[in-house]
Amino acid sequence: MKCSLSHGQLIQFLQHELALSDEAITLALKHPEQEDAPLHMILWQYGLISIDQLSQTFDWLCEQPISVLF
């Protein structure tokens, strides 16, 4: 199954459903590997979300309608 959505929708989910702070998101977005890795994976790598939150994010991503990212 292909899952994709806009960056803004993911950030809204992280803020509203997982109560992730703006600071945590900004920190993850500033990392150079952000261009090659999905935001949620960087957040998890740096301990900004738990494995359970990462799992919730994957579930949420796959529930979203398929769309083009550009």
d(CA 66, CA 50) in angstroms, rounded, equals 26
More confident site: 55 or 67: 55
d(CA 52, CA 55) in angstroms, rounded, equals 5
Quote the DSSP letter at residue 66.
P
Tokens 């920190």 identify what position? Answer: 27
Does the pLDDT of residue 11 top 90, yes or no? Answer: yes
What predicted TM-score, i.e. pTM, was given to this entire model?
Answer: 0.77
